[in-house]
Every structure is written in structure tokens, then in C-alpha cells.
Amino acid sequence: MQTRAPRGFLLLLLFLPLLPPRGASAGSLHGPGLSECFQVNGADYRGHQNRTGPRGAGRPCLFWDQTQQHSYSSASDPQGRWGLGPHNFCRNPDGDVQPWCYVAETEEGIYWRYCDIPTCHMPGYLGCFVDSGAPPALSGPSGTSTKLTVQVCLRFCRMKGYQLAGVEAGYACFCGSESDLDRGRPAPATDCDQICFGHPGQLCGGDGRLGIYEVSVGSCQGNWTAPQGVVYSPDFPDEYGPDRNCSWALSPPGAALELTFRLFELADPRDRLELRDAASGSLLRAFDGARQPPPGPLRLRAAALLLTFRSDARGHAQGFALTYRGLQDATDDPVPKGSAQTPAAPPDWANVSCSPQPGAPEAAMGGAVCWLRGKAPRLWGLPGAPGEAGLCGTAGLEGWPCPALPGTLRLRV
């Protein structure tokens, strides 16, 4: 199983005649449920599946403390930042498209495989579906692009007023409504295995297979009224861009709200997320690139919240994902008087940002160094000693690998 590079031929962006626009979804059609992942590639998976293949029906995974002959092992992750350790659970330490693990080498020389984990699909992803083309699985407008990412398709369908967006074959985008989903034919999750032409860390459906998302993922505004749900930063799962000014209203049933930040990575202190009481407008909390939200649940004595996010002219980073739920009891964990923000000092594992040239070490915030070790093909750098880091974008649990030259292949050894 190999990571595929984007195809080189040019595809013109062609949009079919539009159907009458549907009303955009006010929040998620489906709650976060039992999801164990909030990144599109499952880099944050910390569950216990230890077999590969569809629903764990494949080969048993090797223990990470017995894979020292390979690039990734518990020895290369002494602090457990990527979830490696004396276990054989599926993980994604290198920012691949989904969790994977090493397996006993086969006669074909294959020594790692992907894991299909039903609970490791980010909220807003509705699954893999068959698209026979007659009729199309999603009946709205469509288009193709050599720069397709999940968010490019979401943004297009959101602009057209549809509830659903589907990505197919790495480069095609289709829009549709919930009625399309009602008559859709589910396909095995492993059928949606094509890498997006515009992002090597995202999957965009498969051949005759649609990966379908709710368009509310990564929207810049919204009104969330469901009892629980997920709010993503603008353009998620892509990085948010500069000069973003977005707001979301949360008003679930109840007298208070509980928020839990599943991901949080802002570029610098000028990129800021504010939480305000929707009734009074008073500031309850504020977080930015230097001030992290608490690691556990945050309870706020407010029946409704207004979330606002602003990035500066240079800002771009992975962003955030937070879950919310309404609480019936407003007396739990009230906001301390005289304290509207979290402590200013970032923790030791605060987010960092690095963009080194391939093969050239470059210092980053927090004392980490991000690099690529040059070979042919080029390998991702690994944390092997103090002062080294392998994931670019964060020194914490999540992050993308350091950038490589366009077209370079990624290998594990």
C-alpha cells in the first residue's frame, strides 16, 4: 500500500447547472456521538484498535516498543506525543491520511497497513458512499479541480446553498441535500482511499466512491441550537487563512454550556478566539496563539454563547475544534470574578510553527527543531534526541509533517 502522488494532468473547473439552493444547515445534522477523532486524518486517535483492515478484520499490529528497526517506535516517542508506547494500538505519528500500524512483513514486502476505525472519523464526515453516476449519489452541482481539498469542496457547496458535499477520486466535488443521503448506498470506509490532489494528508473519496461531509464543517458563521455539537475553525480541515473574521452562536437547550477543546493551534497572539455571553455581550474567555484553553471541560454560566474568531494579515494554522453541550444546571464551575481569560503563560508543550527548507534544520519556538533527513526519496525527520521534533506545526500531540518538495514520496523505513 503506497502513498500516491497527485496526478499531473490538468483538469478544468467545470460546474454543472445549479439546482435551486437549499437552506444551509444550522449546525451539525449529526452530533459528535462516539467519535474518537477530530482531525480529518486521525492524527489525534488514542483509541485501542490493534488490527488493520476493515473494522479491524485484518492483520494484528506489532507493538510499538518492538519496531525499533523502523522509523517509528516507542523509543522515538519517549514523551508519548504521538501516542506510541508499549502497546500495539493504531496510531498516525507522521500525519498520514489515517491511522496505521506496522505488521509482520509479508511475502510481498509489506510491513505496514492502514487501520479502518469506525469511531475515528471527524464529526461532520458522514461516510463513504457508492456513486454509480446514474443517477449521481449527490444530485446538486459538481466540479473538478487539480487543487481539491475537503474544504475546497465544502466551501463550494456551502456557497451554492447545499447541506452536503462529496469528494470523489481525489479531484471531483459534488453537492447534495439530506434527501440524497437517505437513498444513498454506503460503501466500506476503505473504498474511499484516494488522496486529495490539493492536500497529501486528506482523503477525497475513491473511484466511484464519495466521501460525504456536512457543509457546516469549517464554516465562518453559524447558529448552533442542537443539544450538543462541534464547532470548527474557518476552513477546517485546511488551515485557516489571514484576515478571517468569523462568529458562531451557540444556544443549546439548558441554563449553561460546557465546552471541550479537542484541537487548538493558532499561529500567534494576534489570532484570537473570544467567548462572550450572548445576552450581555460580556467577555467570558479569550484564547490565542500564546494562551491555550484548558485541557478538560470548560463550564460557563451562560445560556447562550457568541464565539468570535479573528486572524491577522499573516495568520494561518490548523485552527481549533471544540465540542459543546448544554447543561441544565447553571451552578457548576461559574466564571471566577475578575478573571475573564486563561493564564497568559503558555505551557511547555505550547504550539510552535516551523517551515524549514528540506534538509536544513531550523529552530522554532519552544526549543524544538524541525527538519527533514535527506535521502532518495526524502524521509520525514524523526524525534530522536532532545532538541529534535518530527511534526511541523506543533510540539504537542497533533501536527503535520514538515513540508517536502512538491512531488517527493513519503516512506517509512
Ordered DSSP codes for 281-297? --EEEEEESSSPPPSS-
Are residue 321 and residue 231 in the same domain, yes or no? yes
CB of 271 within 8 A of CB of 311? yes
Closest by Cα among 143, 39, 47, 23 to 399: 39
Are residue 264 and residue 314 in the same domain, yes or no? yes
Residues paired with residue 283 on neighbouring β-strands, in sequence order: 276
pLDDT digits (tens, 9 = 90+) for 65-95: 999 889 999 999 988 889 999 999 999 998 8
In angstroms, rounded to a whole number, what is the distance separating the alpha carbons of residues 199 and 393? 16
Are residue 228 and residue 311 in the same domain, yes or no? yes
Cis check: omega of the bond before 99, within 30 degrees of 0: no
* Overall pTM surpassing 0.85 (yes/no): no
Are residue 314 and residue 241 in the same domain, yes or no? yes
Amino acid 141: pLDDT = 94
In-domain check, residue 369:
no
In angstroms, rounded to a whole number, what is the distance separating the alpha carbons of residues 145 and 147? 5
Are residue 146 and residue 242 in the same domain, yes or no? no
Measured CA angle at 355 (ends 353, 359), to 5 deg: 135
Mean pLDDT, the chain, whole residue set: 74
Are residue 235 and residue 313 in the same domain, yes or no? yes
Are residue 177 and residue 232 in the same domain, yes or no? no
Range with the lowest mean pLDDT among 13-17, 51-55, 187-191, 312-316? 13-17
In angstroms, rounded to a whole number, what is the distance separating the alpha carbons of residues 376 and 297? 45
In-domain check, residue 393:
no
The DSSP code for 153 is H
Q: What separation in angstroms does the CA of 150 have from each of 26, 217, 301, 310?
A: 20, 10, 35, 22
SS3 151: helix
From 185, 214, 243, give the residue that closes a domain.
214
Are residue 132 and residue 193 in the same domain, yes or no? yes
Are residue 245 and residue 189 in the same domain, yes or no? no
Question: How much is the average pLDDT of 149-162?
Answer: 92
pLDDT digits (tens, 9 = 90+) for 186-241: 998 878 889 999 988 888 999 999 999 999 889 999 999 999 989 999 988 889 99
In-domain check, residue 269:
yes
Amino acid 298: pLDDT = 94
Helices and strands counted in the chain (H then E): 2, 24
From 305, 327, 349, give the residue that closes a domain.
327
User: What is the residue range of 137's domain?
Assistant: 125-214
C-alpha cell at 1: 500500500
Range with the lowest mean pLDDT among 8-22, 199-213, 297-311? 8-22
In-domain check, residue 175:
yes
Question: How much is the average pLDDT of 261-285?
Answer: 94
In angstroms, rounded to a whole number, what is the distance separating the alpha carbons of residues 53 and 59? 7
Residue 309 is part of a domain; what is its CATH number? 2.60.120.290
Are residue 145 and residue 235 in the same domain, yes or no? no
In angstroms, rounded to a whole number, what is the distance separating the alpha carbons of residues 72 and 348? 23
In angstroms, rounded to a whole number, what is the distance separating the alpha carbons of residues 19 and 352? 44
In-domain check, residue 238:
yes
In angstroms, rounded to a whole number, what is the distance separating the alpha carbons of residues 331 and 217? 31
In angstroms, rounded to a whole number, what is the distance separating the alpha carbons of residues 373 and 64? 22
- What's the structural domain count of the chain? 3
Please state, as a whole number, how many other Cβ atoms lie within 10 Å of the Cβ of residue 325. Answer: 20
Range with the lowest mean pLDDT among 38-47, 211-220, 349-358? 349-358
From 214, 245, 279, give the residue that closes a domain.
214
In-domain check, residue 265:
yes
Are residue 160 and residue 174 in the same domain, yes or no? yes
Are residue 319 and residue 255 in the same domain, yes or no? yes
Amino acid 342: pLDDT = 34
Question: How much is the average pLDDT of 114-120?
Answer: 83
Q: Which spans in 88-132 are helix H?
A: none
Closest by Cα among 97, 198, 66, 74 to 401: 97
In-domain check, residue 57:
yes
Single-letter amino acid, residue 270 = R
SS3 323: strand
Cis check: omega of the bond before 135, within 30 degrees of 0: yes
Residue 88 is part of a domain; what is its CATH number? 2.40.20.10
Q: Give the percent of the chain with pLDDT over 90.
A: 46
In-domain check, residue 18:
no
Q: How confident is the model at residue 21 (pLDDT cuts 50, 70, 90)?
A: very low
